[in-house]
Structure 1
Amino acid sequence: MFSFLRRTVNVVGESSLKALRMDGLQGWQKELPMFTMNTSKDLQQWVIGCDKDIGGFSEAKLEITPEGVGKFSGNLSLELPANTEIQQSGYAAIRSKVRPSSMFGTPCFDTTLFRYLALRVRGDHRKYFVNIQTDGVIQTDLYQHRLFLRNPGEWQTVMIPFRDFVLTNNGMIQEDQIEMMRERVKTVGISITDREDGPFEIELDWIKAMNTETTEGDMDRRPRETTEDEVDFTKSTH
């Protein structure tokens, strides 16, 4: 109970600071940092799962590399457990933990002012998905998008438009595609379910909500242009 009240006080404090800073009036922003994976403390904010949890034979782990980045790796096995109720195996995933709630609800990320979910990653040739869970009514709903790695083995920043994520439930694409509650992003994760036996490895540095210079959420923007007066002023200062 004490921790719940303390979290509530923290939420009130953060909201007050935002009001004093007038965060809502700051206008265009380039990025919203969401997660880093550079320390053991960072990894404590994540959970790992694979079919071994239900009797399967896949293995998965999350650790910090000597370079100081997170590495999600393991081995997928399509072998089915003895439990005849299990019809499919061979998956592994990580996701950020749901942050502790207060009387104001579950803390979420408001990504409405940003167009892309950006990930700094280095992976292999396996097929991965990015998963977003919102604070919606159906907790098993996930918004998913393929994590396309154009240069396996090299670091790259992958930027996925939020509006391109597809609503799924238990791995199945839903016929009724409900728009993502981008103001209530609760968790982000990465999964591998490519139906192939063998090892996998993907490294992750950070995750952010981002704009480019020409985007502001789903709206396009024109970068501010230098006026003639500003050009003349610039010249006169040299």
Structure 2
Amino acid sequence: MFGYLKRSLDVVKEQGSKIAKANAFEWEKEQFLLKLNCKEDLKEWVSGCDKDIGGNSKASLEISPEGFGRFSGDISLDLPKNNPIVKRSGYAAIRSASRGSLFGLKVWDTTLFRYLALRVKGNDDKKYFVNIQTDGPIPTDLYQHRLYLRNIGEWENVMIPFKDFILTNKGIIQDPQVIMYREKVRTIGISLLSQPGHFCLEIDWIKMMNTENTFGDYDL
């Protein structure tokens, strides 16, 4: 209950801040969205995998001894034996939890920033995807982008332009593409699909950012 009321108060503060910034056209370099540095931070996340529908994959999100989020597990492509409805298996995902308040679900307005930035460390050669869910009319719509990692086993900051995310639904690219409803981003997550074996990705934080030469979609 305390968390619910706190989020409601945060909504009031955020709305006031947005009005002030809009009037002043205030430029910001960055703004924190999510972090994974302590057990308390885990309350802001949910995780899942095909085990939830009878599959054999395993996935977990925990805090490492070094104080970072560790998204890890094992992907299995084996179909569940007792559920013939399931035709595909082998996925795992984490995302930010939906944040309720007295004013409805809390959302992020990302329009004043150019990039979604993630500080992560990939410990394998798996292909991860970043997922954004907006407050659009179709709940299963996701905007996705590959999380390109350069150096296995090293921390790196990955910056993805919001405009480069692709609209998908249940893993299928949609046609026509619809521009992301960036004023109301509900959840942000990371997933991998159809890549058997062990995986491990560490996460420090997720931010929205500008460079010195950008102000949202505008160049300075």
In the alignment, the residues of structure 2 paired with residue 158 and residue 2 of structure 1 have an alpha-carbon distance, to the nearest angstrom, of: 34
- Structure 1 residue aligned with 2:54: 55
- Letter aligned with residue 30 of structure 2: E
- Structure 2 residue aligned with 1:43: 42
Is the 2:49–2:92 contact (alpha carbons within 8 Å) kept by the matching residues of 1?
yes
Structure ranking higher on relative contact order (CA contacts 8 Å, 6+ apart): 2
Give the drift of 1:128.
Answer: 0.3
Give the drift of 1:6.
Answer: 7.3
- Letter aligned with residue 32 of structure 1: Q
Q: TM-score, normalised by structure 2?
A: 0.92
1:143-154 matches, cutoff 5 A: 143-154=143-154
Query: Could you report, residue by residue, the CA deviation over 1:186-209 in whole angstroms, capped at 9, with x for unpaired residues?
Result: 10000011x222100000000000
1:61-210 matches, cutoff 5 A: 61-82=60-81, 83-103=83-103, 105-123=104-122, 124-193=124-193, 195-210=194-209
In the alignment, the residues of structure 2 paired with residue 34 and residue 156 of structure 1 have an alpha-carbon distance, to the nearest angstrom, of: 17
In the alignment, the residues of structure 2 paired with residue 113 and residue 26 of structure 1 have an alpha-carbon distance, to the nearest angstrom, of: 9
In the alignment, the residues of structure 2 paired with residue 117 and residue 209 of structure 1 have an alpha-carbon distance, to the nearest angstrom, of: 5
In the alignment, the residues of structure 2 paired with residue 40 and residue 59 of structure 1 have an alpha-carbon distance, to the nearest angstrom, of: 20
Structure 1 gaps, min length 5: 222-238
Give the drift of 1:8.
Answer: 4.5
* 3-state DSSP of counterpart to 2:46: strand
Structure 2 gaps, min length 5: none
* 3-state DSSP of counterpart to 1:182: coil
- Structure 2 residue aligned with 1:218: 217
Change (3 A) 1:87 1:160: same
Give the drift of 1:102.
Answer: 2.4
Of structures 1 and 2, the larger Rg is shown by 1
Give the drift of 1:4.
Answer: 6.9
Change (3 A) 1:61 1:140: same
Give the drift of 1:90.
Answer: 0.4
Q: TM-score, normalised by structure 1?
A: 0.86
Give the drift of 1:53.
Answer: 0.2
In the alignment, the residues of structure 2 paired with residue 63 and residue 2 of structure 1 have an alpha-carbon distance, to the nearest angstrom, of: 24
* 3-state DSSP of counterpart to 1:163: helix
Query: Could you report, residue by residue, the CA deviation over 1:129-174 in whole angstroms, capped at 9, with x for unpaired residues?
Result: 0000001111100000000001111100000000000000111100
- Letter aligned with residue 36 of structure 1: K
Change (3 A) 1:55 1:150: same
Aligned residues: 217
The percent of aligned pairs where both chains have the same amino acid is 59
- Structure 1 residue aligned with 2:21: 23
Give the drift of 1:23.
Answer: 2.7
Give the drift of 1:218.
Answer: 1.2
